[in-house]
Amino acid sequence: MADDTGAGCKGVLLVRDMGNCISTVTQEFWQTQPSSGTLDDMTAHPSLLTPYRLDWDDIDDVLLDMDGTLLDRHFDNFFFEEELPRRYALLHGLQLAESRDRLMAMYRSVEGDLAWTDLHYWTKRVGIDVVALHRELDHMIGFLLGAEEFLQYLHQLGKKVTIVTNAHESGVAIKVAKTGLDRHVDRIVNAFEVGYLKMRPEYWPNCQRLVGFDVARSFFMDDDEHCLTAAKEFGVAHLIHSAKSSSQLPPTPLTQFVSVTGFSPLFSRRPVI
């Protein structure tokens, strides 16, 4: 899989056009620049596609999101959008749609705060043991395709790998027990250790003090645009967007960040994306 020659990787790139259709194109992995054009426009006009060159020799610290980047976000989507609303509906005698609407309003009310991902907070607020329910459904927890191989590749390169996650420590413990994720990395840092979620500007200086990384020689990969934006504003030099966060949903590439739909373009000493 690895190509130490420095040649650009090729593969299947999934691109969402303006009509929300997902098309498959075999081509170099390119960064799509902002454009109102369709997929046909993009392939017909190569000037709209700019290569992004990455050199692993310029990177010491690799900071990786957990859910939606390494682990399949299908579990979290199902849990908070389907299963928890179903259990809440049964508890309160509600229709599923009404239950889901109530929970979505609760989620939005604390979005961006630590409570947003605090499983103990949600246990108290909804009257359901959310941690126990995570354990009950842990058979749905797993790596995204290629994630374990990517972590092994980073180990071969000798990189210091840190998981930086917004997840609560209880959720992290369940996912680590299920996947063995901790065996592949140097450290897992949850947002409660840092004091803020990753999309908050206060997160990054606190995280830097905790982990000790040089922004100029660090790589950060996440599926959340706001987390990437906060890291960019702090000065993290190498940023990659994980466009395929769930195995059950189509990819959602961004135009303002380099987006990949899998790990294969990163298996090279000097990948061209």
Q: What DSSP string runs through 174-230?
A: HHHHHH-GGGGSSEEEEHHHHTS-TTSTTHHHHHHHHH---GGGEEEEES-HHHHHH
56-72+143-248 is classed in which CATH architecture?
3-Layer(aba) Sandwich (3.40)
Select from 39, 37, 33 the least CA-distant residue to 16: 39
Q: How confident is the model at residue 50 (pLDDT cuts 50, 70, 90)?
A: low
Residue predicted with more confidence, 21 or 75:
75
Please report the pLDDT score of residue 9 as a whole number. Answer: 34
Where is average pLDDT lowest: 20-34, 95-109, 221-235? 20-34
Looking at the chain, the whole-number percentage of residues with pLDDT higher than 90 is 78
Mean pLDDT for 92-109 is 98
Contact criterion met (CB below 8 Å) for 25 and 39: yes
> CB under 8 Å to 50, separation ≥6 — which residues?
30, 31, 33
Half-sphere exposure of 120 (CA within 13 A, CB side): 5
Where is average pLDDT lowest: 14-28, 83-97, 174-188, 198-212? 14-28
Could you read off the pLDDT of 56-66 as tens digits, one per residue? 999 999 999 99
| Amino acid of residue 154 | L
Please report the pLDDT score of residue 181 as a whole number. Answer: 98
Query: Would the CA dihedral through 229, 230, 231, 233 be positive or negative?
Result: positive
Mean pLDDT for 16-41 is 31
Dihedrals phi, psi of 72, to nearest 5 degrees: -65, 120
Contact criterion met (CB below 8 Å) for 159 and 61: yes
Please report the pLDDT score of residue 17 as a whole number. Answer: 31
pLDDT at residue 4 is higher than 50: no
Could you read off the pLDDT of 142-198 as tens digits, one per residue? 999 999 999 999 999 999 999 999 999 999 999 999 999 999 999 999 999 999 999
What's the maximum distance between 2 C-alpha atoms anywhere in the chain?
Answer: 62
Please report the pLDDT score of residue 74 as a whole number. Answer: 98
Select from 192, 270, 199 the least CA-distant residue to 238: 270
Alpha carbon separation from 176 to 45, 222, 260 (Å, rounded): 45, 18, 25
Could you read off the pLDDT of 238-272 as tens digits, one per residue? 999 999 999 999 999 999 999 999 999 999 877 77
Mean pLDDT for 209-224 is 98
Per-domain boundaries in the chain: 56-72+143-248, 75-139
